[in-house]
Amino acid sequence: MKHYTHIKDLSDLKTTIKDAILLKMDPFKNQDIGKNKTLMMLFFNSSLRTRLSTEKAAKNLGMSVMTLDINNVWKLEFEDGSVMNMNSTEHIKEAAHVISQYADIIAIRAFPTLTDKKKDESELILKSFIKYATVPIVSMESATGHPLQSLTDAITISEFTEKRKPKVVLTWAPHPKALPQAVANSFIETMQLMDVDFTITHPKGYELNPEIVKDSNVTYNQNEALKDADFVYAKNWSSYNNYGQILNQDTNWKITKEKLGQAKFMHCLPVRRNVVVDDDVLDSDQSIVIQQANNRTFAAQIVLKNILEQL
């Protein structure tokens, strides 16, 4: 693995999950592997879990970490051939190449615009770093995917399942703000690689990119979808077809204790309490969002470890 920007960059998801669970038992075992290696974390957007867990993961491996909120520095130019006499101070060509000389791995968070679908799907920022950097790139959530989160989710489901083929449901949930599709996309792509009975449910109009959904089960009937579920993963996303729009804030889609049944409740966090899901779900033993968030460290750590081993 050179870059990690998609779950399929892992040569073998099952093995990676097992390795991550082993790592979790002894997180400081591999501190030599990161010695004299530097992780550069570059944020175009806000972060709490990703920032802290990725820094933790790198330090667990003995790496040095440098963090830059790039918007606090200056605007980067991504267009090829542009005459830079306006607001952009530095071209990605120089920025990515120069930073590569100060770091052994570059991790990047760059959200979508949610207004320009074509630009978002081109993954301009992430792909530009891959093109112009000379070191491995790790996505800490890009315009269309969040593969560190979905690896986390896969690890968590593996830890908590007792069945050979658990039923996993991804359900849309209401939210006051327009959110990216990235978490849902990566979760779908990851579940498609796992031995699970997978269903997606959302209101009409919230269909996700068919190239990602492929032949996964999709239903507009949440109750039907949630029946006998083992894991319920709630997540809001804005419309893909009416790109970036909020079509519906129907509170009937909120996850309640009754709807959850006997399933475990998952969410990538941050979660809007009593909007996405009721307090009594989050505060019950059926919620595994905290354990899930803990696995962020080990997802990041196994990815960084695999990259370091191949440097």
Q: Which residues bind its own copies (CB under 8 A)?
A: 28, 36, 38, 40, 46-49, 51-53, 55-56, 59-60, 64, 66, 68-69, 72-74, 77, 81-86, 89-91, 93-95, 97-99, 101-103, 176, 269-275, 279, 282-283, 289-290, 293-294, 297
What would you measure as the largest C-alpha separation in the chain, in angstroms? 60
Q: Phi/psi at 91 (nearest 5 deg)?
A: -85, 145
Q: Does 272 belong to an annotated binding site?
A: yes
The residue behind tokens 């991804």 is 170
In the chain, at which residue ranges do the beta strands (DSSP E only) sit?
Answer: 38-43, 64-69, 76-77, 90-91, 105-109, 137-139, 167-172, 197-201, 217-219, 231-235, 264-266
CA gap 29, 64 in Å, rounded: 16
Q: Does 76 belong to an annotated binding site?
A: no
Q: Does 273 belong to an annotated binding site?
A: no
Contact present, 61 and 33 (Cβ < 8 Å)? yes
Contact present, 28 and 311 (Cβ < 8 Å)? no
Tell the smallest beta-carbon distance from residue 25 to its own copies (Å). Answer: 14
Tell the smallest beta-carbon distance from residue 263 to its own copies (Å). Answer: 19
CA gap 234, 267 in Å, rounded: 6
User: Cβ closer to its own copies: 74 or 252?
Assistant: 74
Q: Does 175 belong to an annotated binding site?
A: yes
User: Cβ closer to its own copies: 32 or 211?
Assistant: 32
Q: Does 114 belong to an annotated binding site?
A: no
Contact present, 257 and 248 (Cβ < 8 Å)? no
Amino acid at 145: G
Tell the smallest beta-carbon distance from residue 146 to its own copies (Å). Answer: 16
Nearest CA to 225 out of 254, 261, 201 is that of: 201
Tell the smallest beta-carbon distance from residue 200 to its own copies (Å). Answer: 24
Q: Does 51 belong to an annotated binding site?
A: no
User: Cβ closer to its own copies: 294 or 306?
Assistant: 294
Tell the smallest beta-carbon distance from residue 251 to its own copies (Å). Answer: 9
- Which pair of tokens denotes residue 87? 């607001």
The SS3 call for residue 74 is coil
User: Cβ closer to its own copies: 14 or 273?
Assistant: 273
- Which pair of tokens denotes residue 120? 């978002």
Q: Does 126 belong to an annotated binding site?
A: no
User: Cβ closer to its own copies: 64 or 161?
Assistant: 64
Tell the smallest beta-carbon distance from residue 11 to its own copies (Å). Answer: 28
Q: Does 268 belong to an annotated binding site?
A: yes
Residues annotated within a binding site for N(2)-succinyl-L-ornithine: 141, 175, 235, 272
Residues annotated within a binding site for carbamoyl phosphate: 47-50, 74, 109, 146-149, 268-269, 296
Residues annotated within a binding site: 47-50, 74, 109, 141, 146-149, 175, 235, 268-269, 272, 296
